[in-house]
Amino acid sequence: MHAPVQVAAAAAAPAGSAAAPDAELPPGELRAALARFATGVTIVTCLDAQGRRVGLTCNSFNALSLDPPLVLWSLRRRSPSLAAFVAATHFAVNVLAEAQIDLSRRFAHAGGDRFATGAWQRGLGGAPRLDGAASCFECQTVSHQDAGDHVLFIGRVRRLARSAHAPLLFHGGHYHRIGSAV
């Protein structure tokens, strides 16, 4: 077992002790610690008020409830796509397959027609769903709320699809494939 890396969280905290609950954590250290958590990679999509397709790469997706079937994801409050998702009645969470790494990169950056590649279909509420994804959750927006520097979106899963394709993973700032089971 590896020894934990100690980072001073607050000037008043003695070395090796836990920081006070209200102590400010250095953002770079928090980001580095969060990068140790492996996630899947998704493209979340919706239609904006003018009926244009909107989408972005997201790895802050998670299950929330089985009964009722709820999922959640979050978006930076400074995102240019925020207004579209806040106004949308539906969104789709497309869990990317290993072979869809180029789409992940394309949707992670602004500019150009992000939907120019990939086999996209019109889903519930018009939210684009991606053929060949590891899975897709078509959701009706239940709520959105401010949470720090992000907005948290909760959706009720109204339709889903899954495939046998292995999912794309993200860990430590890099894409990964699933290894052998342990």
From residue 117, give the alpha-carbon distance in Å to each of 6, 105, 121, 141, 163.
44, 12, 12, 26, 20
Convert the pLDDT of each residue in 29-75 to its tens digit.
998 999 999 999 999 999 999 999 999 999 999 999 999 999 999 99
Can you tell me whether residue 90 is helix, strand or coil? strand
User: What's the confidence (pLDDT) of residue 13?
Assistant: 46
**Higher local confidence (pLDDT), 147 or 182:** 147
Q: Which domains does the chain possess?
A: 27-176 (2.30.110.10)
Q: Which residues of 15-35 are buried (b: 16+ CB within 10 A; e: fewer)?
A: eeeeeeeeeeeeeeeeeeeee
User: What's the confidence (pLDDT) of residue 6?
Assistant: 54
Tell me the pTM. Answer: 0.87
Convert the pLDDT of each residue in 65-95 to its tens digit.
999 999 999 999 999 999 999 999 999 999 9
Is the pLDDT assigned to residue 8 strictly greater than 50?
Answer: no
